[in-house]
Amino acid sequence: MIEAQHLVKWYGPVQAIDGLSFEVPAGEVVGFLGPNGAGKSTTIRMLTGYLPPTSGTATIAGHNMLTDSRAARRKIGYLPESTPLYTEMRVSEYLHFCGKLFGMNRADRVKRIDEVTDKCGLSHNKRRVIGQLSKGNRQRVGIAQALLHDPPVLILDEPTSGLDPQQTLAFRELVQELRGKHTIMLSSHILPEIERSADRVIIIANGRIAAQGTPAELRERASQGGAVLVEAKASPEQMTHTLQAIRQVKAVRTEKHGDWCRAVIHSKDQSDLREPVAQALSAKGFTIREMHLEAPTLERYFVEAVVRRGA
C-alpha cells in the first residue's frame, strides 16, 4: 500500500535520506521511529508528495507519487508534524474546507464530519474556533481531518505529541478501531506509542533504516545482553564475592540499602542469568526479596541502533 524504493533526498550539500526502501502492506499499522533529525519528516513528506525525492520512487496504493501525484494524494489522509491548522476557522468550517479539497459533496461531508468528530471526541467542540482549542483538541482536529475522506492510507507524523496520558490512551484506542480498515503509518520518537499500536516498527537513523521488525522481535533482539537486577539480604562484599563466582558473570555493581544489597549483573555471553544467580544466593543462605531481568525496552535497542549507525 505504501512503498518506498531507494528514496534519496539531498538538501543542497546535505544528504537527509540515504537510499530508504520499505513496504507497508494493506491493513498494516507501521511505526516509524527515529530521533529528531533522523529524516522521519523528510521521508513522510516524500511519501505524501510534499517534497519530491532527489532519486527513488514513492508509491501509494499503486500510484506513483511523481507521475500520478494527484491520484496518489487522494488516497492519503495526512497529519503533518506539529498539526498546522487555520486557527481562525471553526472546527466544522475547517473540516468542510478539507472535505471540499478532496472533492466530497455536501451530503458526504455532513455525514462524515459527524462520524469523525464523534470518533475523535470532538462532538462538543465542532462550533469552537480552532485557535481557542487546547493542544490536545487541535491534535484531534488534525486527526479528524486526516480521516475525513476515508482514505485507504493514513500517514500521521507525530500524532501523539502534545497529548496528555488520557488523550494518548484515547488515540491508541482510535488506532485500534481503525486497524484493518486503513493502512497506517505513525511516526514518533516516543517509543511506547509505537510499541503498543504498531504491528511492525521501522527505526531510522541518519537517513537509513537502522532496524525493522515486530515490536516483539525487536525486543527479543534488544534483550540480548540484558542485565539481572537482584536484591538480597547480604553485605555488598558478600554479594560481589558470591556473584563473581558464577562462570557467566561479567560485571557486578552493588548498592547498599540498609540490611539489603541491590546488585546489577551483566553476563558475558548474553545468557539469562536469573537461574544461576538464584541458585548461588540461596546456596549461601541469602534471602532474595526481588529479582528481575532488566526490562529490555525498544527504546534501548533503538538508541543502540542509532549509536551503531553513527559509528
Partner 1 sequence: MTFTIAKRELQSLFYSPIAYVVLGGFAIGSSVFFIQGFQPGRPATMRGTLDMVVWLLIFLAPAISMRLVSEELRSGTYERLMTSPVNDLQVVLGKWMGALVFFCILLSPLLVQVAVLEVVAEPELGPIVTGLLGLILVGALYLAIGVFASAWTQNQIIAFLLTVFIIAIPTFAAFFLAEEAALKPALRHLVLYISVNNQYQDFAKGLIDIRNFVYFLSGTALFLFLAVKLVESRRWR
Contact positions vs partner 1 (CB under 8 A): 45, 48-52, 70-71, 73-74, 76, 78, 80-82, 84-89, 93, 97-98, 100-103, 145
Q: Considering only CA atoms, which of 77, 81, 87, 73 is closest in space to residue 38?
A: 81
Q: Which is nearer to partner 1, 63 or 200 (CB)?
A: 63
Q: Considering only CA atoms, which of 221, 228, 218 is closest in space to residue 249?
A: 228
Segments of the chain assigned E as strands: 2-11, 14-24, 29-33, 55-60, 63-64, 76-79, 153-157, 183-188, 200-205, 208-213, 228-232, 249-257, 260-267, 288-293
Q: What is the DSSP string of 37-73?
A: TSSHHHHHHHHTTSS--SEEEEEETTEETTTSHHHHH
Q: Which is nearer to partner 1, 84 or 180 (CB)?
A: 84
Sequence-separated (6 or more) residues with CB below 8 Å from residue 180: 27
- Min dist CB 71 to partner 1, Å, is 8
Q: Which three cell numbers stand for residue 73?
A: 494524494
Q: Which is nearer to partner 1, 98 or 234 (CB)?
A: 98
Q: Which is nearer to partner 1, 104 or 265 (CB)?
A: 104
Hunting for cell 521501522 — which residue is that?
Answer: 202
What Cα–Cα distance (Å) separates residue 106 from each residue in 7, 102, 110, 224?
A: 38, 12, 6, 56
Q: Considering only CA atoms, which of 213, 218, 206 is closest in space to residue 36?
A: 206
- Min dist CB 197 to partner 1, Å, is 23
Q: Which is nearer to partner 1, 187 or 242 (CB)?
A: 187
Three-state SS sequence of 189-215 = CCHHHHHHHCCEEEEEECCEEEEEECH
Q: Which is nearer to partner 1, 127 or 257 (CB)?
A: 127
- Min dist CB 87 to partner 1, Å, is 8
Q: Which is nearer to partner 1, 37 or 131 (CB)?
A: 131
- Min dist CB 29 to partner 1, Å, is 21
Sequence-separated (6 or more) residues with CB below 8 Å from residue 209: 20, 21, 22, 202, 203
Sequence-separated (6 or more) residues with CB below 8 Å from residue 283: none
CA distance 120 to 152: 18
- Min dist CB 133 to partner 1, Å, is 15
- Min dist CB 84 to partner 1, Å, is 3
- Min dist CB 247 to partner 1, Å, is 58
CB 75 within 8 A of CB 63: yes
- Min dist CB 25 to partner 1, Å, is 22
Q: Which is nearer to partner 1, 90 or 233 (CB)?
A: 90
- Min dist CB 145 to partner 1, Å, is 8
Q: Which is nearer to partner 1, 45 or 200 (CB)?
A: 45
